[in-house]
Amino acid sequence: MSTTGILRSRRSAAQRHALASVVRTIGAIDPSAGCKYLRDFREAYRSYQKVLALSDVRQEIGKAGIVLVGDYHALPNSQRYLASLLRDPELHQRPVVLGVETIFSRDQHILDEWFRGEIEEGELRQRIRFDLDWGYDWPTFYELLSAARDHGASIYGLDCMPREDLRKIGARDRHAADKIAELRRRYSGALIMVLFGESHLAPQHLPALLQERLPAEPMLTVLQNVDALYWRAAGETRDHVEAVQVHKDVHKEVGKNVLCVFNATPLEKYETYRLWLDRWGRNDNDNDGAPDLGPTLYNLIEGMVRFLGINQYSPHNTTQPRLLVDLMPEVYSRSSDALLRRLLSRKGFTAEHRRSLLRQVRERGSVYLAPINAVYVRQFRMTSSAEDAVRCLHQACRGLPNLSNGKVPAAQAAPGAKTLDQDDLFYMTVFEHALAFFGSRILHPARPALRDPDIAELFEVTREDLEHQTALPFADALEALDFLIERRKQDFRGVPVPPFTDRKYEYVAEQLGHLTGTDLYDAYIDGRLTTTALRKLFLAHIEEPGVACRAYVQLRRRLRAGLRS
């Protein structure tokens, strides 16, 4: 069994590599990151008492009077988490009041007009000067407001000017404390939930001021994605820690009841902030200030390159791919779907393949186009972007075997330069899915694993749910599941891959790849697979005849035997 420190190191290495670049970029643009007020928050919460489930957090919220929820403004998951709490019927056993930093108290009359249905969303957004005075993601914040209104929670703005002057930030805390105390007097028995910037929730900031005004109030602080707590929790044996109880005795009289939930990684958190800084720093009338996502993809690739120990500047084709740095993909971001359609049509993708790729963009936010070594990104989503980055790296490590000089092969598959049989094509696709899934979990460990029991459980769901989850007709879904379960039992080539229809083929190859990717991740975390062995997998030329089948069989046997390599 690996020690806590070793587990933490293995889970965090690739993220930390990628994160370092993002933090440097932010520091060069935003010099306020080192100010004392922000340091107070970072230094206050560095250890925890025990691991919790999200259900434990909800129980604690249900017992509290005032709940301060930390908000990392640039991260949509911060606002979505509170929206999910407001939709929980268990928390509505008593009246619920929502207070938000985003809206100035002076604009309460505007918020009230919207709450009563007198004005529409667009007018609310304009009149509270959301884009001018706040500037972060409107759809996510509006989702929060809507969740509160739809479930009968009263909503109040808590902030005041000036927001841009950190010398006045203490006055804003005092103002917010006074407004929250007013809400307690007005709603004596209500659960008051407050969404405020995380740095305001250092024990000596807003919590201390509230305790002065309401000494008998049962208060709870719910932090989100605190860096130091996240890195420490990476040493736990479980796959993913949902929440922790911060040490109760650290802050003496102030902030006794503090929890932290995890719904994003530090890399995801700071990358979203970097994207907002990029957006604010450009005057981009053509794309509504949409961020440039190219640096995001390149940084994720760089994180994996450093994790695997690859020299991307090597001039020799030995144990390193020659000049890997020159094989990085083109990144299309801040673009419309119409541009993607034109691109795919111009490069020779068939209509069916174009529809498939457009569907992937809608579902995932991005897609890697191996035949032209390009990534199309419509929206940054950490899981999808990480997976696309790893796919790019895997192709580059093999010298871009699927590159077609601007034209896609007529078969629309990815057969490489050599003629491959049906099994080789299938297992090459499985291998690509496996390494992409593995790498995405290295960069984003919160991505859920896929294991054999998860496949078996699909036999227990209803016909409608099975068709929905697999996107296959019922009979095809059953055949696909049978194939996956049988193929996972085999250590050898066995029966040839059946001639599946395109969608069924796509499904079984992806699921088998994700199962294998989970096996790879588990073996790496357990110390049974070194980065040297992983690098060899990335460098293997699985597009050569016979290699993919042989490599898959050898990998399965090695992983099932628990051998170290």
pLDDT in tens, 266-318: 999 999 999 999 888 875 544 556 678 899 999 999 999 999 999 888 887 66
Q: How far is CA 257 from CA 95, 220, 269, in A?
A: 22, 5, 24
Which bin fits 258, alpha (ψ -120 to 50), beta or left (φ > 0)? beta
Contacts of 541 (CB under 8 A, 6+ apart): 398, 399, 401, 547
Give the residue numbers spanning the domain of 460: 418-565
Residues 244 and 374 in one domain: no
Burial class (CB in 10 A: 0-12, 13-18, 19+), 395: buried
Lowest mean pLDDT among 14-28, 467-481, 497-511: 497-511
DSSP 31: G
Three-state DSSP at 96 gives strand
pLDDT-wise least confident of 69-73, 147-151, 236-240: 236-240
Residue 543 in this model has a pLDDT that exceeds 70: yes
Task: Decide if 503 is inside a domain.
Answer: yes
Q: What span, in angstroms and rounded, lies between the C-alpha atoms of 341 and 521?
A: 35
Within a domain: residue 107? yes
Look at residue 281 and tell me if it is in a domain. Answer: no
Query: 34 and 167 in one domain?
Result: yes
DSSP code per residue over 247-270 = PTTSSTTS--SEEEE-SS-HHHHH
555 and 455 share one domain? yes
CA distances from 469 to 135, 461, 473, 474 (A): 36, 10, 11, 11
Q: Which amino acid is at 131?
A: D
Sign of the alpha-carbon dihedral angle for 114, 118, 121, 125: negative
Q: What is the pLDDT of residue 37?
A: 93
Vertex 363 angle, CA 357 and 364, to 5° = 85
Cβ neighbours for 40, distance < 8 A, ≥ 6 positions apart:
199, 202, 204, 205
Indicate the residue type of 226: V
Last residue of a domain, one of 414, 447, 473: 414
Residues 147 and 37 both lie in one domain: yes
In this structure, which amino acid lies at residue 527? G
pLDDT score for 493: 53
In a domain, 286, yes or no: no
Residue at which a domain ends, from 414, 441, 457: 414
Average pLDDT over residues 418-435: 89
Q: Are residues 29 and 142 in the same domain?
A: yes
Predicted confidence (pLDDT) per residue in 137-160, tens digit: 999 999 999 999 999 999 999 999
| Listed residues 414, 433, 463: the one ending a domain | 414
3-class secondary structure per residue, 393-445: HHHHHCCCCCCCCCCCCCCCCCCCCCCCCHHHHHHHHHHHHHHHHHHHHHHCC
pLDDT in tens, 347-362: 888 888 888 888 889 8
Q: In the prediction, which pLDDT does 312 show?
A: 87
For β-strands 219-224 and 258-261, DSSP reports them as parallel
* In a shared domain, residues 221 and 316: no
Written as one letter, the residue type at 469 is Q
Domain with 100 in it: what CATH number?
3.40.50.11550
Q: Hey, how many other C-beta atoms are within 10 angstroms of the C-beta on 152?
A: 10
pTM value is: 0.88
Domain-located, residue 285 = no
Whether 337 has a pLDDT exceeding 80, the answer reads no
- 298 in the same domain as 261: no
pLDDT for res 2: 66
Residue 256 carries which side chain, given as an amino acid letter? K
Domain shared by 115 and 251, yes or no: yes
pLDDT above 90: percentage of residues in the chain: 70
Number of domains in the chain: 3
DSSP 3-state of 170: helix
Is 75 inside a domain boundary? yes
Q: Which two tokens stand for residue 90?
A: 């268990």
**Phi, psi dihedral angles at 191 (to 5 degrees):** -85, 115
Distance CA 37, CA 43 (A): 10
| pLDDT tens digits for range 387-422 | 999 999 999 999 888 775 444 443 444 434 467 888
Residue 283 counted as domain residue: no
Distance of CA 499 to the CA centre of its chain: 35
- Residue 500 above 70 pLDDT? yes
Residues 346 and 380 in one domain: yes
Rg, the chain, Cα only: 26
Same domain, 313 and 211: no
The pLDDT of residue 445: 92
Q: How many CB atoms lie within 10 A of CB 32?
A: 10
Q: Are 379 and 140 in contact (CB under 8 A)?
A: no
Question: What is 32-57 written as a DSSP string?
Answer: GGGSHHHHHHHHH---EEEEE-HHHH
107 and 187 co-located in one domain: yes
Confidence label for 491 from pLDDT (cuts 50, 70 and 90): low
Compute the distance between CA of residue 13 and CA of residue 493 in angstroms, rounded to an integer: 35
Here the tokens at position 162 are 């000036």
Does 303 lie in the same domain as 221? Answer: no
Q: Is residue 558 part of a domain?
A: yes
